[in-house]
Structure formats: C-alpha cells, structure tokens
Chains A and B, each alone.
Chain A
C-alpha cells in the first residue's frame, strides 16, 4: 500500500472526530439552561427584590457545586447563607450551579465555571486536569467545634451481630444517606475498595436521601448497614437515643467531635478556575472567611445546617492516599468518567480500529496481488490472443465501414452520376434517331451513317465505363493491395468527378510529378479517399469566386509519395482543424461526419498519414502520404 493511500485513509478519520466532538457542547448547553433558570428564579426567591434587580446588572460569577442529585434552588440548602453573603457584600452576582460530576467536568472543559466546590478527591482530579486552585475549605459545625475534615461512618442495627467488620459488608444491602448531596462518592468508593469491597458486584449500594427513612429501612432489615457522612447522624442518634445503632470499625484520633469508620480527609474545597484573577479570588475568600463572625441565630441554625469556610487544607496526606483516585474513577465509576476522557478513549479506539483495518486491507491487497500476478500471466496470454483477434476484427470493421462510407458517397453523388450517365444515353438515342430518319427518307449517305453508328458505340462504351467504375467503387470486400500508379488514380478520380467539377464551375489543375514509383495500395480505397477530399474541397468553395482545386503528387524524402488536394475555399478554423478527423464531426448539413475519419483510417492502414492545414493565403490543403515499397525505393535511387 502506498503512502498516499495511507494518508487518504487518515484523512477519512478527520470527519469522524468532528462527529464525536459535538456531544461535548451538548453537556455545556444544559449548564447554560440551568444558569438561565437560576438567574431568572433568583429575584422571586430573594428577600430584597429591588436590590436584586440592581444586582442582575452586575457581572455574573458562576460557582459549580458537585451534586449527584439535581437541585434547582440554593434555598434551603446549607449553601444558602454563603451565597447570600457573597451576593450582598460584593459587586458581583454569584450564581450557584448544581452539577453532576460529568457536567462539572465538561463545564470546566469549556471554561464555563469561575469557581468550583466539590469533594477533595474529585478536586484532586480536576486540579490536575483544569488547573484549579483551592482557596478555602468547607467547615461544618459539630456542637461547638468546626471541622475541616470529613469521614464516613458505617452503622448496623445491633441485632445484626454477624457484621462486626467492614469486610462482612460483602453481598449486603447498604443504604447510603446522602441528604443535601454532601457525601463524597469517590471517597466512599475508595473506602469500600480498601476494605475488599471492590465494586458494586459484591455489594449493593442504595443511595437514599432521607435520613429517617434510611434508619427505618435499617431497622426493618431491608438494609444491612447504612453509611453516612461522619457526624451527620450523631445529633439524631443522641436525640432519639438509638442505642441499637452500632458503628462499625470505629476510629479514634484527630480529636474529632464525631465517631467515624474511615480515615478523615479534608472537607470540600472551594477552588477557582485558572483564569480568575487574584482580586476576585481575594474578595471571595475574605467574604467567606468572615462568615464566622456573622452567625445566624440559633433557631435558624438548628433547622438549617450551614457551611462555613476555613483556609485551604494541606493535601499532602490525601495526595499520597489517593494518588490513584483517577484510576478509581475510571475503574469503578465509568458513568462518572468525564466526557473529554471518553472521547479520547473513543478517538484512540477508532484510530486503532482504522489502523487495524488498514493493516488488514494491506495484507489482503498484497495477498490479492499475489493471486492476481499468477492469474494475470494466464490472462495476459489470453488477452494477447483476444487482441490479435480484435485487431483482425477491427480491420474487417474498418473495411466494412469504408464500404458503407463509399455507398454513402455514391448516394450523395447520385444526381451527378445520373447526369453523367444521361449524357451518353441521350447521345446514343439521338444518333440512332438521326440514322433512322435518314434511312427512311431514302437520302442516306452510308458513310455518314456508319460514322454516326461508330460514335454511338463510343457513347455506349462511355456509359458502360461509368457503370463499371461505379460498381467497382461500391464493391464490398476485403482490401487487397496492388502496385498502383498514383497519377493514374488521380486521373481516374478526376474523371469520375468531372460532372461535379463542371457544374460547380471549379477549375481543376493537376500538377503531377512524372515517373513516380508505384505504391502498394488498395486502389479503390485510395480512390475513395481522393474522391472524399475532392468533394470536400468542392463543397468548401461554394460562394467563392473562381473556385479552383489543385491536385499535386510528388516524391517526398525518397520514402513517401505525397498527394495534396489544395482548394481555394474558406479554409478551416483552428478549433475545427483539431477535430475534423474525429468520427461524426461534420460542418455540412447533410453530412454523416464519417468521411475524413474513414479516410484517415484507410491511409493509416496503408502506413501513411493524412493531415490537413490551411494555406497561407486562402483555402485549405489535405495531404496524404503513402510509403514507397523498399524494392522500388532501391531501384529508384539507382536511377
């Protein structure tokens, strides 16, 4: 396979890339819709409509918040307080966008998010990919303590004594409490993975939003265990005195105010996109950090948990722990895989497929080539035979075509020929009538009558000659070449066309070189060509004053005899000159357009050439060459 072919195939791939890329934008468009919805919805939900209408004129700052469950409004979520503060205290209009991991990823890919809030593990991935920079860490208040770390807690109902270790969660139904969409799913995956619960094939993970419902299901035995964010259930357990609830794999340390089954990782970071300038970032940081000093009153705080903000956490430990987080994501959460990554996979997959296809085609083509080589040898021999046969057939066809053309020429010349035949016939008739009259009148001069009868016989011969020539001209048959005198052919043909020349009052001038060697030619075919050339010449001179045709013969280079028919007609225009030998090309109203085409092939069959050119002054010339045979070539050279 050639390099060009390969290049062509690669070119074919390009349009396929373009087909794949559009879905990227589809994802981003959903974000735009959501953004629109939020901006439209916010005035009605805001406490100060007048101020909001003023705010909408401010620059919009989008903040993407990871949320596996869709949420329309910020109202009633722990984020509400932070956003209210941001929007009131700054000159910007902060728009929260709740996005799934997938949406978050594609939005970032299109630079549609100014800030991002997501869990620490997902952040690590996005940081590498999109150059995010974490500014703050979310904190939650547990009794009097603010925690900048989060963990996971696994609870079982006490009677399910068979689950004492995390490993035993295998093949069990686990309810994951995810109210406010605040659980870190990636962390959960990692946590389960570390405890031998590799994927969802050997554990049933059931997300459940409502905490109380989860507890009821646990109590009823539908769930074997529930997992929640550490500290999330503590308050509830304390209030309800649910002593039957047992924490599996309790850890200590970190002086955490809650019990937890997993290690603790930093809380969700707030990060800025790479293009956000420091001034804006500083403003956001200072506003959110000062949120501590602006607490809500106790009652509101009780019903509505709030997120607060602290400085960014050190991620060194986390980095070590979750260096393979991307791998987790890829292996365990294929549905969370980012679109660009999927596309990359698909593109490389398609490329590989194509390369393989190309390789297969190459191999196949080379195998075919081998097969063809072996068969081509046989077919080539066959083809040679066929070609020889075709050549013979072509010769026959050419002869047939020439015959048809001759018939056609005869048809065109019919009226001229009729006239030519009419002359001797009427002469015969008149002579005979004259004789009869004289004899009847009795004053017959015998000598005169004999003379008249001799003249009558001459005329009968003349008529017979015309018929003979006509018959031989339209004779059908294979071409047979004899040694012929070209000048004799010329005089025969000009005799044939005498009537036509006379009628058109064409002055015919013969300029024939004497003692030309004979040429090996089919007389009739050469006559046909000459008649054709003369007829064309005569027709080309209609409307010309004093039309004349010159026919010349001469030796050319001692190898050829050249015969030229030179007319004084209108000549041939340049574009027509190129095409006059083409079949079916004609300038006449009644012509078939085969005359010159057939003439050309006849002369070529005689190893000669037929060509046309314009005279320098007026009219055109058609010349044909016929080779002198070698024996005559030699004999004439000696002379």
Chain B
C-alpha cells in the first residue's frame, strides 16, 4: 500500500463530509474533501486512493459521477454512502462496478474496512499496471527473429528443432536465444514462461 494514497470524500452536507473526514483521518489516512462530484472530477489528478461519495447530491449525482469516471477510464475504487438507499439503487451501483455501498448512519468499522480494502485494491492494481508496462517494454524491444525464437522456446522446443523450423543454423538460434533471454530479463526458461503468461493475460502479447 502506497503512503501517497488519498481518500476522496464527496458529500454536499458539510457535517457529514467533515465528520467522515474526521473518522478516516483517525486511522492516519490522507483525506481530501469535495462538496460535489463536479468539483472532484475537475481536481482529480490520477492520484492513487479511493472515493467515498454520497449518492444524492445537487448537480451531478453519485451514479452519474460513476458513469463519468468509467468513461474517463478512472479505476479508483468507489464507495457509495447514502441516507436513503434502496436495493435497486445498490444493485445498479454495484453492477456498474462500485466497490461498496454503505448506508448512513454507518458503522465506523464498516466504512474504514471498506476504505482500506479499496486502497489495497487500488495499490495492487497500480502495481500490476506498472509490471505490465515493463513487460510490454521488454517485449517490444525484441527483434522479429528474437520474437519468433521466444515463442518457440516457450512452446518447449529444443534449439535443433527451432533451427530447422526457422531454416537457420543451430548456432544462430543460440545467439538469438541468448540475446532474447537478456532482453526479457529472464534467468531461466521457467521465468520467461511466467512473464509471457502474464503478458498474454493482459493482452500485451500479440
């Protein structure tokens, strides 16, 4: 969990906003408050963290804000709090990817747990994102011939077979293979396979 993570609290009612901030701050988390969804969307700058948001607000409502964030590709976990939530509203919010849905007046532990889970999910997502980015980088640095060799190595083919298939000498294959392993930062075939599986899961591998 990153220490830079921020809990964004969006509620139009000042008392609720301030008290929630007071509670979240009590466990040593950073808090930023906004009076409406528009204000939050304007000021958000890709910081890691999670959002605690009221469903009913003047101007843009919580559910509308959720749509907007989705369209902007924001992945921050969104925890809804509401004074008069009903089942359809909660189902709708969760189906669209809300992290949690909590009714006011809320149990403090429930909210804090949700916030912490949110932060964890966010930081994990951030980490995997960074990892994916580095794999992507490594794969794109390969030459086409090295890429061909890597694909066959991960399929478990020995150098002899690869040389035959690519219609080159075994020696050439060995040179390509050594350069490929170096570029992929893989010390063993097993590590290479692990990296490529992660890449294929994230659709990096073409």
Contact = CB atoms under 8 A, between A and B. Distances in A.
Interface residues of B, number: 21
A428 B18 CA distance: 11
Given A419-B83, A422-B104, A441-B26, A430 B16 contact: yes
Contact of B58 (A435, A441, A505): A505
Contacts of A419: 83-84
Nearest to B81: A426
Interface residues of A, number: 28
A569 interface: no
Given A418-B84, A422-B83, A433-B108, A427 B13 contact: yes
A434 B83 contact: no
Contacts of A433: 23, 26, 108
A202 interface: no
Contacts of A435: 22, 26
A201 interface: no
A423 B23 contact: no
B174 interface: no
A438 interface: yes
A489 interface: no
A423 B15 contact: yes
A434 B25 contact: yes
Interface stretch (A455-463, A466-474, A555-563): A455-463
B16 A423 contact: yes
B12 interface: yes
B26 A505 contact: no
B27 interface: yes
B59 interface: yes
Contact of B105 (A422, A434, A502, A505): A422
B64 to A, nearest CB: 11
Nearest to B56: A503
A424 B15 CA distance: 7
A183 to B, nearest CB: 113
**Which of A415, A418, A430 gathers most chain B CB within 10 Å?**
A430
B59 A437 contact: no
Contacts of B56: 502-503
A636 to B, nearest CB: 38
A423 B13 contact: yes
A422 B106 contact: no
A419 B103 CA distance: 12
User: Interface residues of B: mostly helix, strand, loop or mixed?
Assistant: loop
A426 B26 contact: no
Contacts of B83: 418-419, 422-423, 426
A423 B103 CA distance: 11
Contacts of A455: 15, 18-19
Interface string B105-127: 11010000000000000000000
B66 interface: no
B15 A434 contact: no
Interface in B55-69: 56, 58-59
A38 interface: no
Given A418-B84, A437-B26, A430 B106 contact: yes
Contacts of B23: 430-431, 433-434, 437
B53 to A, nearest CB: 15
B84 A462 contact: no
Contacts of B104: 422-423, 426
Contacts of B20: 430
Nearest to A503: B56
**Which of B18, B23, B58, B84 gathers most chain A CB within 10 Å?**
B23
A434 B84 contact: no
Interface string B18-46: 11101101110000000000000000000
A423 B12 CA distance: 11
B26 A427 contact: no
B26 A425 contact: no
Interface string A491-524: 0000000000011010000000000000000000
A32 interface: no
A137 to B, nearest CB: 117
A502 B58 contact: yes
A387 interface: no
Contacts of B25: 434
Contacts of B58: 502, 505
A431 B105 CA distance: 11
A452 interface: yes
Nearest to A424: B15
A269 B105 CA distance: 124
A9 interface: no
Contacts of B106: 426, 429-430
Nearest to A444: B26
A431 B23 CA distance: 7
Given A415-B84, A422-B84, A430-B105, A452 B13 contact: no
A502 B15 contact: no
A218 to B, nearest CB: 122
Nearest to A418: B84
B202 to A, nearest CB: 39
B132 to A, nearest CB: 37
B80 to A, nearest CB: 14
Contacts of A437: 23, 26-27, 108
Contacts of A503: 56
Contact of B16 (A426, A438, A458): A426
A455 B104 CA distance: 18
7 contacts: A423-B83, A429-B105, A429-B108, A433-B108, A434-B108, A441-B26, A452-B19
Interface of B: 12-13, 15-16, 18-20, 22-23, 25-27, 56, 58-59, 83-84, 104-106, 108
Closest 10 A-B residue pairs measured CB to CB? A426-B105, A433-B108, A427-B15, A430-B19, A434-B23, A437-B26, A426-B104, A434-B22, A422-B83, A427-B19
